[in-house]
Amino acid sequence: MRDHESLVMDTVREMVERRTGTPATVTLDSDMIADLEMDSLEIAELSAVLEEEYGEDPYTAGTLARTPREVLAFYQSASSSKDG
């Protein structure tokens, strides 16, 4: 299983670059909708890729994560609740 941060960052970067055709700068705090202009199909794709890799994803769980950091927070929170 890939490290959460590298999978999230790589997936988001690849999707933006595929659409724009130019190298993209993505940070943990990039707003995927406002800054990176990802549309609903791209958010849907991110959700599907995360669900496929980890068996769960924030969007299916009802959290509309707007930044990579918010996506990672979902997994950290899920991990702590399992540990607890």
Partner 1 sequence: MLIELLRASADRDSRRALVVSDSRTATVGEVLARAEAAGAELARRRPRRLACVIEDVASLVAVLCGAAASGTEVCVCPTYFDDAALNELLDSLDAALVVTDTGRRPAGRDVVTVAELCAPSGAAEDSYDLAEDPELLILTTGTTGKPKPTRQRWSRLVAGIANDPGSRWLLTYNVNQFAGIQVLLHVLVNDGTIVVPASRRPTDAAAAIAEHGVTHASGTPTFWRLLLVDAGSSAGIGQHEMPLRQITLGGEVVPGDLLERLHRAFPAARITHIYAGTEFGSAVAVSDGLPGLPASLLERADGGRAQLRVVDGELQVRSTVGMVGYADDDEIAGEWFPTGDLVEVSGDRVMFVGRINDRINVGGTKVSPHAIEAAVHAVDGVALAAAYGKPNPITGSIVAVDVVAAPGHDPAVLKEAIRRGCEALPPAARPRLIRFVDTIEQRGGKVVRAAAADAGGSLR
Tokens of 40: 């609903």
* Residue 60 touching partner 1 (CB under 8 A): yes
By CB under 8 A, which span of 28-36, 53-61, 65-73, 76-84 interacts with partner 1? 53-61
Which among 51, 52, 4 is positioned nearest to 28, based on CA atoms? 4
* Residue 36 touching partner 1 (CB under 8 A): no
* Residue 73 touching partner 1 (CB under 8 A): no
Distance CA 74, CA 8 (A): 12
Contacts with partner 1 by CB under 8 A lie at 18, 39-41, 43-45, 47-49, 52-53, 59-60, 62
